[in-house]
Amino acid sequence: MPTTPKKAKALEFDSPWKDILEHYFEAFLEFFFPALHTQVDWTKGYEFLDKELQKVVREAVTQSRRVDKLVKVWLNNQEEVFLYIHVEIQGQVEENFAQRMFIYHYRLYDRYGAQVMSLAILGDKKVDWQPHRYHYEKFGCELSFRFPTVKLLDYKERWAELERSSNPFAHVVRVHLKGLETQKDPQQRLDWKVKLYQSLYEAHYHKRDILELFRFLDWVLVLPEPLTLEFDRFVQQYEEAKSVRYVTSIERLGIQRGIQQGIQQGILQTAREDVVKVLQIRFPQVPKQVINQINQVEDQEKLSQLLEVAVLSQSLAEFEQHLNK
């Protein structure tokens, strides 16, 4: 396959992780936290509480390069518990990470009590950065908060184990690691994208799972246009040889459109949240009706204008006049 001087596009990990975590939550717990997984009564289902999380920990929802989920589950002893799951996608080492985990935890504890459990997944490239405890002590007053942490980089030494596993997150972790590793080498990324694509078939997943996991693969291992076309040709030839058409033609185009729509929706949602945040800082009470109107705006240019108006308006009434135009 020919080389190309172009660099691979920047990685976007947060949206794919949000999607895959929601699709395969039970598999997520089974893979990363097996002891907890065995204590959950899966016959009762589970519930994502995104709106409740946003009320308690607003910055956890709006901050990019992080994935935060609050999930209600029931244990085998009938106890109801709330799992706060934080996935730190990539970026610089954050000195206050453990403190932030504690702050989010106690805010959720204040709302839900002792049924809150906080879990962290670290997807960065810093080998020695593995925070798992927040502690301070002054004049006899002491606080210690521990939380389970999984470092994705540790799985590099367990690659053969990942290849043998049928859990969807074995594929997710391999894609994530190769996304980090090949960020500056598009040709190597193409080679790994081909290998990981083939592994989906070798793992004998159902068609629906192949499509979901391919979507994650296609989203994370983004290629320059020439190599994208080369990958597409390989997929077509491979599936013709296998007499299957899982991710080619209409389905593949649909996946690509879905990815682009997902990215666009993420941009719009962030813009809406920025407008609301400015209003809430500037004015004591922002009516729910105003927030609902902002959340219905689908035009990115208008949201940019509303953000400027939110900063410059002398009153909330002045902002509402612009909103209603």
Q: Kindly report, residue by residue over 153-199, the tens digit of the pLDDT.
A: 999 999 999 999 999 999 999 999 999 999 889 999 999 999 999 99
Which of 24-38, 53-67, 160-174, 290-304 has the lowest average pLDDT? Answer: 53-67
Are 165 and 174 in contact by the 8 Å Cβ rule? The answer is no
Residue at 102: amino acid letter = F
- Check pLDDT > 70 for residue 26: yes
The mean pLDDT value for 275-296 works out to 86
Structure tokens at 27: 């598999």
Are 59 and 69 in contact by the 8 Å Cβ rule? The answer is no
The pTM of this model reads 0.71
Q: Kindly report, residue by residue over 84-105, the tens digit of the pLDDT.
A: 888 876 555 677 889 888 988 9
Q: Kindly report, residue by residue over 201-231, the tens digit of the pLDDT.
A: 888 888 888 888 988 998 889 888 889 889 8
Q: Report how far apart, in Å, the C-alpha atoms of 17 and of each of 56, 72, 127, 183, 276 are.
A: 22, 19, 21, 17, 25
Q: Kindly report, residue by residue over 252-277, the tens digit of the pLDDT.
A: 555 555 555 555 667 778 778 888 88
Are 193 and 223 in contact by the 8 Å Cβ rule? The answer is yes
What is the 3-state secondary structure of the chain? CCCCCCCCCCCCCHHHHHHHHHHCHHHHHHHHCHHHHHHECHHHCCEECHHHHHHHCHHHHHCCCEEEEEEEEEECCCCEEEEEEEEECCCCCCCCHHHHHHHHHHHHHHHHHHHEEEEEEECCCCCCCCCCEEEEEECCEEEEEECCEEEHHHHHHHHHHHHHCCCHHHHHHHHHHHHHHCCCCHHHHHHHHHHHHHHHHHCCCCHHHHHHHHHHHHHHCCCCHHHHHHHHHHHHHHHHHHCCCCCCHHHHHHHHHHHHHHHHHHHHHHHHHHHHHHHHHHCCCCCHHHHHHHHCCCCHHHHHHHHHHHHHCCCHHHHHHHHCC
| pLDDT > 90: percent of the chain | 34
Q: Which residue has the tokens 């990363």?
A: 32
Q: Which residue has the higher pLDDT, 306 or 40?
A: 40
